[in-house]
Copies of this chain bind each other. A is one copy, B any other.
Amino acid sequence: MPIDRRPLREQIREELLSRLDRGHFAAGTDINEVALAAELGVSRTPLREALITLAGEGVLESNQGRGFRFAPVSRKEFRELCEIVAGLEALALDRSDPAYLREIAPELLRLARDFPDRIAEQHVIERHDDEWHDLLVSGCRNERLIDLITSVKAGLRRYAHLLAGDDTPLEREAAEHCRVAELLMSGDQAAAVQALRDNWVNGMERMMSRIPST
């Protein structure tokens, strides 16, 4: 097996995002660099590099002399991020090869129908949702755009755990995914783009009430 030869800052970044998904960090709390570095078993240098990367992605914020902290969640920011990702994914879908889209449409439909039912754990659901969106935009040849989407979505991870609990949102989500897939199968790309936008807007609305008003 190939051994992991990526720089530590990247591994640290992923570990932190993973912990964020699992709700390890409360939004708005400061990060103690020495403590976190010790916990991760690395020195402060690569840890700070990871923190700076995450700050660039909007997951963290930094203040001069006060270090880093997880940016507090807010409805405003969540709306802004959803708006951006909606626009970017729509753009990606719009610029995808129609033939390729028709090709993957059945798989998209299958995934949408296989949406994990209520018994599934939180992170399983999220992974499944990500998988669907990733496949959807996989036909876009604009690599920069794909990277950007991934990066902006990292900022959304702070909101993921808020989804836990209720089931009806998931069913709606699945239904909307089905609709996008069906439109792609019928070859109506423009309509699919619009349906995707709607999916994001609706998903945003569904989450909105769960976000503490600040």
Q: Does A142 contact B (CB under 8 A)?
A: yes
Asked if B56 and A56 make an inter-chain contact with CB atoms under 8 angstroms apart, the answer reads yes
Within 8 A of B (CB), among A36-87: 45, 48-49, 52-53, 56-58, 62, 64, 77, 80-81, 83-84, 87
Q: Select the residue from A62, A64, A144, A152 with max chain B CB neighbours within 10 A.
A: A144
* Alpha-carbon gap, A47 to B5, bound state (A): 23
Q: Does A148 contact B (CB under 8 A)?
A: yes
Chain A residue total in the interface (Cβ 8 A): 32
Residues of chain B within 8 A (CB-CB) of A57 are 56
* Alpha-carbon gap, A147 to B152, bound state (A): 12
> Shortest CB–CB separation between residue A54 and chain B, in angstroms?
10
Q: Does A95 contact B (CB under 8 A)?
A: yes
What is A's interface to B at a CB cutoff of 8 Å? 5-7, 9, 45, 48-49, 52-53, 56-58, 62, 64, 77, 80-81, 83-84, 87-88, 91, 95, 142-145, 147-148, 151-152, 155
